[in-house]
Amino acid sequence: MNEYRFEDLKIGQEEYFSVTVTEEMMRSFLELSGDENPLHNDADFAREQGYHDKVVYGLLTTSFISRLVGVMLPGKYCLLQGINVKYSKPVYVGDILIVKGILEELHPSVKRVVIKVFVQNQDEKKVLKGKVEVGFLPK
């Protein structure tokens, strides 16, 4: 886990990690969210709608941004304060995702940063892009 303080950060700084989406993640998200939409839980239904297989929950994909911010950039001393994302392609179980953040803005007066986030799949296709606002713990 990184332990960047506000003073340690620089515009353009970046971090990334990869994660493989699993069926277990889908089951856990279903249990947690209660989202029983068949697009996410019924492969036949998803195929009838024109998808290759069940579509991974968008918010499951987005949840990896929490890991990016809370563990990597900036890490231990941060608090996620806002998130704005757009989904551009579906994600499927088995996809290998690269989750990347690039520090875009520093706001010293309020100790807040803005991080551009991207998620791409194993085919290098962007499946999500957005921005997050991150504050810092007082101590």
- Tell me the pLDDT tens digit for each residue of 2-23: 999 999 999 999 999 999 999 9
18 is written with which tokens?
């990869």
pLDDT tens digits, 35-83: 999 999 999 999 999 999 999 999 999 999 999 999 999 999 999 999 9
Residue 95 is encoded by which pair of tokens? 């996809």
| pLDDT score at 139 | 78
Instruction: Supply 138's token pair.
Output: 């007082």
Q: What is the pLDDT of residues 107-138, one digit of tens each?
A: 999 999 999 999 999 999 999 999 999 999 98
pLDDT score, position 74: 97
Contact yes or no for 69/78 (Cβ under 8 A):
yes
Give the C-alpha separation, 95 to 1, whole Å.
Answer: 24
* Backbone dihedral angles phi then psi of residue 132, each to the nearest 5 degrees: -125, 145
Q: How does strand 126-136 pair with strand 112-120?
A: antiparallel
- DSSP-derived letter for residue 75 is B
Residue owning tokens 């810092």: 136
pTM of the entire structure?
0.92
Q: What's the token pair of residue 6? A: 């506000």
